[in-house]
Structure 1
Amino acid sequence: MKQIPPLLGRLVSHWEALIALMALLGIVIHLILRFGLEYRVDQPGIGVVDVPLLLALAAGVPLLFNLMKSLAQLEFGADLLAGLSILTALLLDEYLAGALIVLMLSGGHALEGWAVRRASFALEALANRMPSVVHRYHNGQLEDVALDDLAVGDVISVYPHETCPVDGIVLDGQSTMNEAYLTGEPFLLPKAVGANVISGAINGEGRLTVQATSRAVDSRYAKIMQVMRESEQRRPRLRRLGDRIGALYTPLALGIALLAWGISGDPVRFLSVLVVATPCPLLLAIPVAVIGSVSLAARRGIVIRNPGVLEQIATCRVAIFDKTGTLTYGHPTVTDILVAPGMLREDVLAWVASLERYSRHPLAVAILAAARKESLTLSDAEEVSERPGEGLKGRVAGKRLVITGRSKLQASHPELLSHLPAPAGGLECVVLVDETYAGLFRLHDEPRLEGRDFVHHLSPLHGFERVMIVSGDRESEVRYLADKIGILEVHAGQSPEQKLALVRKATREAPTLFMGDGTNDAPALTAATVGVAFGQGSEVASEAADAVVLDSSLARVDELLHIGRRMRVIALQSALGGMGLSLAAVGIAAMGHLSPVQGAILQEVIDVMAILNALRAALTPHPLSDLINKH
């Protein structure tokens, strides 16, 4: 279903609903004419009361073409008996029975298609985020040209709040860019002369002059789109629960119908058996259970974009996590401030925070928050500069400060490296005061409160056999998080292409559940058996995912696991229970005790019983999560 274009998908869903409506109207009009006009149904030929039924049967012809196509592909699903019933009813002039089957078949398809999402919307969302025109300099003047006309070396202007159209280098201006859509990091990154920018990043308040280093079709964003498209095309088709059951039930029921015809010599008995054997609990009860579960999930803040995954999530055996925003809150905090001998911790923090007020570096917010927490008084800063590769520089309280990283310090002041503490997991920045080592700040993006309990309960309570982190972040930060929440398998520094390859490999070996929140996760979300997106930060990730957890809670993912498992149980109860009753009715019909219309009515009674049971899926059980008593 995921490869159907959005417009075509909507047309198919509406078309099947229209067939169901026409069948229902045909049956109602037939009954009004029949009983209102007291028309004799045993008179020869086609009467007035039969015309609405014939129109209903004619509306079901497209359904028969689809069934014939499935039959040609040797797919013996739940719909095959319904198709044979329609044809047999038409041949034997049992129009009412045929119209009832058209109603059941098209109604079941329309009901299921009501909530089915088409994942190609994700590609649409990706494309819509990019500007169609760019502001290019030509002879010193700005002109708007098509994005595809941009060449390597062209100089463009990126206005405030615009999406950067290509990869490039900043020639003039200062601003920040949000690259979360591509990297998954929820930081505003400073951009000044010499800084690299990537396509798809959202510019901040400043205007930037950028020289393109690649064409739009070769940019980072275009590569993600290409990977996403390939992932869409290569995703295997999942065989639905109803189809698997129908593949066993259909030959059995068909065999009984042929045997009844052969023994009695009466083709009407063949039709009676087919009508009562039509697996409507599969065609109706399973979609009702699915939609009830979709409703329950929505009330819990979980948007189910592909109802089919409710059948699949309980079978997943591999859990794959992105890191930032999924296992963490996406907001780094200062965890340690280590100062050099002779320095006071409060002084170093106050000086650094005073300078960081003028920075848009992602760690500046965390350092300022630490200073506010300790109620420190900040000073004005002078001579502030933040050039790429040089760190943040400035003068505070008469002292010359440099805030940089360990790797940059190695290039500028290698003699100071021996004064630094040993590297540890997570993020860090080094502080120099008057060209002397003054301290080191360690920061971490802390794991979610329920993270460790959630990870540890996956194996014993949900049957997961393998749990891993696949992240684009640095090894030290990912390892730090993995150790805190108890994940042993770590894949750090992964690009979207590498993430996709890992997920594909894992999915070939066992059903997978992937959880992420950024555009860089979109291909992996699509390639996994079940993809769950966190929050509403990335439209692309949400469109690519099968389900979206709106409040970014791992406890909600646990609820989704329970909803899927419960839906599967209720759907099986409804389908198998209803089919068991149908088989009992098949025996009665095979002995000649049911006419086709009586069989259709009895089948409707069985359907109602199966559907009533399936409706239980919409009710909220207590508890719905294993973590409810812990957090």
Structure 2
Amino acid sequence: MNATEKPHEAGPPQTSSPKPRANQHLNWWNRKSLVIAALAIFAICLHLLMRFGIHTTTGIGNIPLLAILVIGGIPLLFDLLKKLFQREFGSDLLGGISIITSVLLGEYLAGSIIVLMLSGGEALESYALRSASSVLAALAKRMPSVAHRKRDSTIEDVELQDVSVNDTLVIFPHDVCPVDGVVVEGRGVMDESYLTGEPFQITKTSGSKVISGAINGETALTIRATHIAADSRYAKIMEVMRESESKRPQLQRLGDRLGAIYTPVALAIAFLAWGVSGEATRFLSVLVIATPCPLLIGIPVAIIGSISLCARRAIIVKSPIVLEQITTCRTAIFDKTGTLTYGEPTLTEQVMAPGFEQRDVLTLVASLERYSKHPLASAILAAGRKAGVHLPEATEVSEQPGKGLTGTVSERRLLITSRNKAAQQNVAGADQIPPVAGGLECVVAIDNQYAATLRFRDAPRTDSRSFVKHLGPRHQFNRLMILSGDRESEVRYLANQVGITEIFAEQSPEQKLAIVLQETARAKTLYVGDGINDTPAMIAATVGIAIGQNSDVTAEAAGVVIMDNSLTKVDEFMHISRRMRSIALQSAVGGMALSVIGMGFASFGYLTPVVGAVLQEFIDVAAVLNALRAAFPPKVIHDL
């Protein structure tokens, strides 16, 4: 049976399910933190119900709180004790001391709330750190687990690892290419944009190279394998992914940095008050009012509110860390195709031969291209619609492999082909074809006479130039660069269009990763891309943003996914992030400042532990109410 005769139903490719190397301890701790947080909420609600709803005695009403302090507080205290021995003085360390203090004072409700905040914060952090391992899972899920090997007239399914060099494989319509190879039979197109960065579907015919991971079009292709699966392009990208994950820096939370200052100050004031007065109650009073709820509650509320606001603006924040980091990035690195451009060809120039009119040629060419599946046909038809030309019927249409598109329109014979094929087919006036320029092109001959050269570009987004131009003055970016797998002429053309001078063209995923690692070592980097070829570099950057939903792998790798194909949304995210940081600092620093003032009064004996606890609650409420502002959109959410 011929490969093209075998029926094949289009659908998702069969996939293997190799599990990425996961951090088992991280997963266990995340589950434990979630359980403790849930139990703390239940215990607090039950206590309030028993105390104010059914008016039980104080001792019985405190039983749920004592239970959560034992179940959740003791494990937390053990972990905080480890940090103490490692000289890590974060805000959660002071929270642990506050738990002990609250128990000693009989303030069990306050202690339970601190348990809730500590466990909830750990769960949020571990969720963010798990995103890296899910990238490899997405990559593995996309690849087929079997290949269709052809021997004589039969086709058999074999495991991917059993494919050898020079095996003949059949790629059915809409299948993912399993290995690198060369086409030996068939003609069609493949979508390689995920892997190469090229913006168009690539025509494949006998002798054409195919890349593992590319998606086949609507016709079956027979290929000869040139690499085994382990050496194919897709496998190399997965290996680069693992390497980039191992080099990803660990980022410290804003609350930890502030807590590293606040905790020693609070402890110093408490011990000083105890030492000078000789009263242990002053030590307890200071620590009660020093409980770092503005840090433990205010900052997470601001972050969660900002994530909620982003979601309403079609911006998915997958890692809360990026909200803190984007405002510190000073180098912006862009992929070209699908990021600064739309990823679709556009007819940008018609170079006419003497004696031919532009509109007449466009009318004839568009009429013929209606019958073609070539990637440039849609661009020509779009240009025809924009020009308002009437399309007469075409006859004798033929598109043979390697010979171009031919047909008759309005009694004139047309040939649409490449410059090399035009010379080989003895087109008159072929020597008048202009020199090669950047972008893609096709040559038009009418009645065997050279008539025009049509040139195509991948058009920049309407907001690309304004977005790039405002990054320096509005967001303090010092360097802007394009990092692309496309040809240098194409990248240079786009760079001039959008106002970027520094470019790196014809870069593989491995080369992209090396450049991003180098730049990230100099300054914090923002990487904006949309394809699988961007994934390793996106992970290595300080902040990775994926435009659109072209690749589930890229979406997993990015800290932020822009659901709309718009750079304006990237600017919105920057504004939301900057506002979140401002609000979080107001809540945390303002709350700490009020607490320090309260600690001063407590250290001189003006505040008892009970009054200090009540005052701290007012400070907490003020900090949280201020943090809640992050969930509501400001008057100006972008400046493009």
Q: Structure 2 length normalisation: TM-score?
A: 0.88
The answer to whether 1:145 aligns with 2:158 is yes
The answer to whether the 8 Å contact 1:157/1:207 transfers is: yes
The answer to whether 1:427 aligns with 2:440 is yes
SS of corresponding position for 1:205? coil
Other-structure match for 2:558: 545
How far is the alpha carbon of 1:107 from its aligned partner?
3.8
Match of 2:344 among 311, 324, 331: 331
Q: Distance in 2 between matches of 1:586 and 1:606?
A: 12
How far is the alpha carbon of 1:220 from its aligned partner?
1.0
Structure 1 residues 32 and 338: alpha-carbon distance in aligned structure 2, compared to 1, 3 A threshold: closer
Q: Distance in 1 between matches of 2:37 and 2:611?
A: 21
Other-structure match for 2:452: 439
The answer to whether 1:19 aligns with 2:19 is no
Matches within 5 A, 1:386-425: 386-387=401-402, 392-396=404-408, 399=413, 401=415, 403-405=417-419, 419-425=432-438
The answer to whether the 8 Å contact 1:518/1:541 transfers is: yes
Structure 1 residues 342 and 28: alpha-carbon distance in aligned structure 2, compared to 1, 3 A threshold: closer
Match of 2:571 among 555, 558, 570: 558
The answer to whether the 8 Å contact 1:571/1:614 transfers is: yes
Q: Distance in 2 between matches of 1:4 and 1:75?
A: 28
Q: Partner amino acid for 1:485?
A: V
How far is the alpha carbon of 1:595 from its aligned partner?
5.1
The answer to whether the 8 Å contact 2:309/2:631 transfers is: yes
Can you list the C-alpha shifts for 1:417-466, whole angstroms capped at 9, x where unaligned? 75232443332223355765432111122212222221111111111111
Match of 1:71 among 84, 90, 101: 84
Q: Partner amino acid for 1:624?
A: I
Other-structure match for 1:529: 542
Q: Distance in 2 between matches of 1:405 and 1:564?
A: 51
Other-structure match for 2:299: 286
Can you list the C-alpha shifts for 1:15-50, whole angstroms capped at 9, x where unaligned? 323213323444555566678787576xxxxx8945
Other-structure match for 1:232: 245
SS of corresponding position for 1:314? helix
Structure 1 residues 269 and 133: alpha-carbon distance in aligned structure 2, compared to 1, 3 A threshold: farther
The answer to whether 1:517 aligns with 2:534 is no
Deviates more, 1:367-376 or 1:608-617: 367-376
The answer to whether the 8 Å contact 2:419/2:433 transfers is: no
The answer to whether the 8 Å contact 1:296/1:618 transfers is: yes
Q: Distance in 2 between matches of 1:124 and 1:307?
A: 21
Q: Distance in 1 between matches of 2:261 and 2:304?
A: 25
Matches within 5 A, 1:436-585: 437-585=450-598
Other-structure match for 2:604: 591
Structure 1 residues 580 and 498: alpha-carbon distance in aligned structure 2, compared to 1, 3 A threshold: same
Can you list the C-alpha shifts for 1:128-148, whole angstroms capped at 9, x where unaligned? 111112222346432222212
Structure 1 residues 164 and 114: alpha-carbon distance in aligned structure 2, compared to 1, 3 A threshold: closer
Match of 1:159 among 172, 178, 185: 172
Q: Distance in 1 between matches of 2:67 and 2:283?
A: 21
Q: How many residues align?
A: 616
The answer to whether the 8 Å contact 1:23/1:53 transfers is: no
How far is the alpha carbon of 1:545 from its aligned partner?
1.0
Q: Partner amino acid for 1:379?
A: A
The answer to whether the 8 Å contact 2:427/2:445 transfers is: no
Deviates more, 1:397-406 or 1:314-323: 397-406
Q: Distance in 2 between matches of 1:244 and 1:194?
A: 59
Q: Distance in 1 between matches of 2:351 and 2:61?
A: 93
Matches within 5 A, 1:365-384: 365-372=378-385, 373=387, 374-384=389-399
Structure 1 residues 394 and 607: alpha-carbon distance in aligned structure 2, compared to 1, 3 A threshold: same
Q: Distance in 1 between matches of 2:47 and 2:356?
A: 94
Q: Distance in 1 between matches of 2:162 and 2:478?
A: 50
SS of corresponding position for 2:394? coil
| 5+ long unaligned stretches in structure 2 | 1-19
The answer to whether the 8 Å contact 1:430/1:441 transfers is: yes
Q: Distance in 2 between matches of 1:405 and 1:57?
A: 80
Percent identical across equivalent pairs?
Answer: 56
Structure 1 residues 98 and 294: alpha-carbon distance in aligned structure 2, compared to 1, 3 A threshold: closer
Q: Partner amino acid for 1:438?
A: A
How far is the alpha carbon of 1:87 from its aligned partner?
4.0
| 5+ long unaligned stretches in structure 1 | 42-46
Q: Distance in 2 between matches of 1:119 and 1:513?
A: 17
Structure 1 residues 91 and 323: alpha-carbon distance in aligned structure 2, compared to 1, 3 A threshold: same
The answer to whether 1:316 aligns with 2:329 is yes
Structure 1 residues 40 and 333: alpha-carbon distance in aligned structure 2, compared to 1, 3 A threshold: closer
The answer to whether the 8 Å contact 2:183/2:204 transfers is: yes
Q: Partner amino acid for 2:495?
A: A
Q: Partner amino acid for 2:418?
A: T
Q: Distance in 1 between matches of 2:492 and 2:40?
A: 60
Other-structure match for 1:44: none
How far is the alpha carbon of 1:251 from its aligned partner?
1.0
Structure 1 residues 589 and 516: alpha-carbon distance in aligned structure 2, compared to 1, 3 A threshold: same
Q: Distance in 2 between matches of 1:208 and 1:237?
A: 45
How far is the alpha carbon of 1:344 from its aligned partner?
4.1
How far is the alpha carbon of 1:564 from its aligned partner?
0.8
Q: Distance in 2 between matches of 1:614 and 1:93?
A: 29
The answer to whether the 8 Å contact 2:427/2:448 transfers is: no
Other-structure match for 1:605: 618
Q: Partner amino acid for 1:307?
A: P
Structure 1 residues 585 and 50: alpha-carbon distance in aligned structure 2, compared to 1, 3 A threshold: farther
